[in-house]
Structure 1
Amino acid sequence: MTGRGFSAAFLAFLLFGGWGAVAWGEVPAMPTIMPVPPSGQPPLSSALRTTNPGTEYADLKGSGYVEDEYYMSGVAPAITAQGAILFQLPYITRILVRRPKDPRKFNGTVVMEPFTWIGERGAGWILTKDYLIRQGYAWVGYTLNINKPAQDPKTTTDPDWRPDPEPQDLNFDFMRRFDYARYAPLGTYYDPVRFQRGGHADPFVPQSQGIGAQLALALKSNLPDGPMRGLEVSRVYVDSWAVTAQVWMDYLDQGRHQQWRMPDGRPLIDAYMTGKMSFGEVGGDVIRVPRHMPDDAPFVVVYSESEAMHDAVEQIAVPADSDRPRLRYYEVAGVSHLRLADLGTEEVEDLPADVGKETDPRCRHLYDEPAQMVVSALLDAMDRWVRDGKPMPKAPRFKREGRGIARDPEAGNMIGGVRPAWIEVPAAAYLTDQETGCGMVYDTKVPYTRDKLRSLYGDFATYARRFEAAKSRSVSQGYLLPADAGRLAPIAKPDDF
């Protein structure tokens, strides 16, 4: 990226672009976007990788999709966790684009999400890729990262704690080890002294909000030579999961949705879905609803059992749903914070044997129940709320009990919440790490014994019939799409009986 054309364009951007003074209704500067030269292998987090693929893989070519990687550069504000813009600085990051090759297949919506800082995982893509491709969405993942500091606040907020071993899939260092030619040029500002959150170094990139706004502007502007060239983009949605969801809570809470707009006054972003993140957990304000809720975009939060248990233990009240502003909260039973099915390329997490819990009956069994089907149904409902004005369904919350969540004494599962078929007709008790103390980022389940399965259902045929009925109820409630229902198989198998 040292070519003359890029250098001239970037210099012009530095001199004449950037952000002006903060003002309501301000238009962000347009970033510079250029293709990443080929390096002989697919990009990190590619859905095209067939050799040692991560769970990002999808049959893009067979589905009529293309994948391209670009550098995105510009000047973006450095913003504190408290919302103060201190100064403007250049950055260079990368975006990974997946879009229909045929414009006729495109549904007009781009879903964008920041890659998580652990393994550059595109959690939203992994959870919804089948739905996105089926419905003709475009998707853009983008990097928010830093060079590895001497002490990385992304691994701990305790200054005396030393991880052993140090995680190897964090920061630009990980990306450069993966493919130096591609990722050596990347750089964003970081200063742990000037930027603090909750009394310690802020683990989030100070330029995160500005980078996200500039990307949304570029996507929605229908640039003739931009990453969506040939497609007519009408809507941009944010889909941000796990720790990077905090970036979008900050964005909304600090009023950036209203502040930064398209040149014609339309919002840069038309809907926000965040998931599996307890806002404020890594420091800062513990809030559940942004102070500056948008009046022209839904804000949707999806909790696994782990986040719900966190809030119950901390006695953090979960907000009520509302149609004005458009707010929805979903607590989903039988869904883990992380699954093996969610891991990104070359990402490794501790298993029961790694933490000495392989013989503990409450820690032995990880689970990969198809949470993506629930998430896809919610994303589809959010899309219909934006396009057709049809409000998303409202779901009950888990039943709180003291500093915890009540469990059904017979099934052993949480009471309330969104209840997929594997909870309505269970074959296991689904537990959180707060309850088991297994010490993993994964949650676990305890499968029912043969005697218990027989006492509940008699035989597999009865269990399977009840499971099918539960699937039908999920479809009618809006938590399972008809296109996915046929692929949702019973969790227990005939041999379990």
Structure 2
Amino acid sequence: MERSITISLLRPTLPGVLLSLMLTSNTFAEVPRMPTVVAVPPSSVPPLSSAKRPGTEHSDLDMYDYVEEEFYLQGVAPAITAAGKTLFEAPYTTRILVRKPADPAHFNGTVVIEPFSWFGERAAGWILTRDYLLRRGYAYVGYTLNMNKPAVDPKFISDTPAAEAEQVAQYGRIVNFEFMRRFDYARYAPLGTYYDPERFTRGAGPDPFVPQSQGIAAQLALLLKTNAAQGPLAGLNVQRVYVNSWAVTAQVWMDYLDQGRHQQWRMPDARPLIDAYMTGRMAYGEVGGDVIRLPRQMPDGVPFVTVYSQSELMHDVIEGIDLPPDTDSPQLRYYEVTGMPHLRLADLGTEHTELLAADIGKGDDPRCRTLYDEPAELVVSALLDGMDQWVREGKAMPKAPRVLREGKTVARDPATGNLQGGVRPPWIQVPSATYLTDQETGCGLIYDTKVPYSKEALGQRYGSFSHYEQAFEDAKGLSIKQGYLLPEDAKGLRPIAKPQDF
């Protein structure tokens, strides 16, 4: 009513009224529903994925003067098919885990959001960037995208009943809301989202992704960027929201961009909800659906950055899938990081375990015995920092060469055994091992493995540990210059081989 009265009093021309109403209607029609947020009642134990819990996600928040809080996020969100069709809207209740500077003066204006993984509610993006986020004053919000266990869980649909049963036996206890409720029933009993495997399919089977994923993400971004006095980031002046989504949930963000949600859903003043997107360790379309690498409705003015480990790049090489070229308009970057495995011991979520070579009778295979767990988080943190500079300062991220292909195989350097091209961390520039993928070794592991050089090979290549150590230092300097290592992280990066290896 107030809007109508104002128009009447100003008496503008009829075309002006129509244009104003059209613009107003379009703007407000594209603003997502505002969700509500309620603090989770206190409990005697830290929440799932808490940085205060011993484990892979632990951080000393007190040292950085950060606080961690958990909230219920509730609202009504569209249920969207994998093909992008909205069928209806439905209520949901999920949870968010917030980490923020206790002193608003230490906040840098940017919130990083990340959906937790299916498996063990893992926050892979947090694990890979937490030290960087804390020392640079970011806020972090992880959130749950999950479902009640259906009769047939689409996350485990396999080619044979035996393979499906094996998957359920390995992972069934650490997925879905049932896992969360078993962990802490009182805390997670209220959670629920809409799911119907008959209506929502992806590829040839039920869609394993929650149909409300895109709407929940948009509403969360709206809530955070609105700077509400009663919001989960009250007192902080949020200026930017970045996505940092890894592993299987990265597909949610490919869908979001591909279906044009970035352009469709906006802030009330028409600003974008999301200011940059980083995803990693996911070959889009691998879990059913379209195999694309460039969103068909790629937006202008915001970066879309994908980080591949050796496993993902090997997947695309074997399947003959070409990556699109890096461009500055639209702002697209793909990084194939050599010497980066798909999963590390440091990446496991709550109650998440994986089989090792000895568990499956491969303990005597020299290609399967040694996992590589090199500090890939240093590369990821540098890339996130580069994305931040692209947003805030307009400084374009570096364009990395692709890993060299030879048809549907990769090109390996005969002298080192390692991949040629791609992003080359210091441990690849100055290697002490050959870094392999499970696609090549057939070890049957989720982890990737390496074959360390023998003492003789190290001696022939470097002469002595001191020469190797100096070469590694020089490689660190090159990585800093290329934008793949931050100077403050370089100080703590030690050579992979040790004096006793020579």
| Short-chain TM bin | over 0.9
Equivalent pair of 1:23/1:259 in contact (CA under 8 Å): no
Aligned-pair identity in percent equals 69
> Which residue identity lines up with residue 380 of structure 1 in the other structure?
D
Equivalent pair of 2:327/2:333 in contact (CA under 8 Å): yes
**1:33 matched to 2:46:** no
**1:471 matched to 2:476:** yes
Task: Name the SS of the counterpart of 1:121 in structure 2.
Answer: coil
Equivalent pair of 2:158/2:164 in contact (CA under 8 Å): no
Matches of 1:118 and 1:283, distance apart in 2: 18
- Cα deviation for residue 22 of structure 1 reads 9.6
Q: Summarize the alignment of residues 289-300 of structure 1 with structure 2, pairs less than 5 Å apart.
A: 289-300=294-305
Structure 1 length-normalised TM: 0.94
**1:42 matched to 2:46:** yes
Q: Summarize the alignment of residues 59-458 of structure 1 with structure 2, pairs less than 5 Å apart.
A: 59-158=60-159, 160=161, 161-164=163-166, 165-167=169-171, 168-458=173-463
- Cα deviation for residue 25 of structure 1 reads 6.5
Task: Name the SS of the counterpart of 1:472 in structure 2.
Answer: helix
> Which residue identity lines up with residue 118 of structure 2 in the other structure?
W
Structure 2 length-normalised TM: 0.93
Matches of 1:158 and 1:296, distance apart in 2: 42
Q: Are the structure 2 counterparts of residues 22 and 367 from structure 1 closer, same or farther at C-alpha, using a change threshold of 3 Å?
A: farther
Equivalent pair of 2:35/2:73 in contact (CA under 8 Å): yes
Task: Name the SS of the counterpart of 1:81 in structure 2.
Answer: coil
- Cα deviation for residue 23 of structure 1 reads 8.4
Equivalent pair of 1:25/1:261 in contact (CA under 8 Å): no
1:4 equivalent in structure 2: none
- Cα deviation for residue 90 of structure 1 reads 0.3
2:9 equivalent in structure 1: none
Task: Name the SS of the counterpart of 2:322 in structure 1.
Answer: coil
Task: Name the SS of the counterpart of 1:470 in structure 2.
Answer: helix
- Cα deviation for residue 232 of structure 1 reads 0.3
Equivalent pair of 1:45/1:54 in contact (CA under 8 Å): no
Length, aligned pairs only: 474
- Cα deviation for residue 287 of structure 1 reads 0.3
What CA deviation, in whole Å up to 9, does each residue of 1:303-344 have, x standing for no partner? Answer: 000000000000001110000000001000000000001112
- Cα deviation for residue 24 of structure 1 reads 9.4
1:12 equivalent in structure 2: none
Bigger helix share: 2
Q: Are the structure 2 counterparts of residues 467 and 236 from structure 1 closer, same or farther at C-alpha, using a change threshold of 3 Å?
A: same
- Cα deviation for residue 450 of structure 1 reads 0.4
What CA deviation, in whole Å up to 9, does each residue of 1:263-305 have, x standing for no partner? Answer: 0000000000000000000111100010111112110000000
> Which residue identity lines up with residue 429 of structure 2 in the other structure?
E
Matches of 1:405 and 1:151, distance apart in 2: 38
CA RMSD of aligned residues (A): 1.2
Equivalent pair of 1:24/1:260 in contact (CA under 8 Å): no
Equivalent pair of 1:24/1:258 in contact (CA under 8 Å): no
Task: Name the SS of the counterpart of 1:154 in structure 2.
Answer: helix
Task: Name the SS of the counterpart of 1:445 in structure 2.
Answer: strand
> Which residue identity lines up with residue 119 of structure 1 in the other structure?
G
Matches of 1:472 and 1:380, distance apart in 2: 17
What CA deviation, in whole Å up to 9, does each residue of 1:202-225 have, x standing for no partner? Answer: 100000000000000000000101
> Which residue identity lines up with residue 113 of structure 1 in the other structure?
E
Which entry has the higher C-alpha Rg, 1 or 2? 2
> Which residue identity lines up with residue 44 of structure 1 in the other structure?
L
What CA deviation, in whole Å up to 9, does each residue of 1:233-286 have, x standing for no partner? Answer: 000000000000000000000000000000000000000000000000011110
Task: Name the SS of the counterpart of 2:111 in structure 1.
Answer: strand
- Cα deviation for residue 439 of structure 1 reads 1.1
